[in-house]
Amino acid sequence: MIHQPSAGTKGKVTDMEIDVEHFLRIKKNLNEILANNTGKTAEEIKAASERDHWMTAQEALDFGLIDKIITSKK
């Protein structure tokens, strides 16, 4: 699964605005990290992570989130 960061805040409105700016920077940085490691653009990552995006192992491999699928040796 891929999704955007989850966070919360409380307090005075000014303090919450500061928190939200921080959360948005974290979201942007995370999107850039995922883009650099998946071969996707930051915009593609942003679009895929706006809501919970469930993937099968094969979909995660195709997306670039994982390097390989490990199977049982049975």
Q: Which CATH architecture has domain 1-74?
A: Alpha-Beta Complex (3.90)
How far apart are alpha carbons 46 and 23 in whole angstroms?
14
How far apart are alpha carbons 65 and 40 in whole angstroms?
10
Using DSSP's 3-state secondary structure scheme, residue 30 falls into helix
Please report, as a single letter, which amino acid is at residue 44: E
Would the pLDDT of 68 be above 90? yes
Q: pLDDT (tens digit, 9 = 90+) per residue, 17-48? A: 999 999 999 999 999 999 999 999 999 999 99
Q: pLDDT (tens digit, 9 = 90+) per residue, 1-19? A: 999 999 999 999 999 999 9
Give the number of C-alpha atoms closer than 13 A to the C-alpha of residue 73, restricted to the C-beta side.
Answer: 0
pTM of the model: 0.81
CB-based burial of residue 45 (10 Å sphere; 0-12 exposed, 13-18 middle, 19+ buried)?
Answer: buried
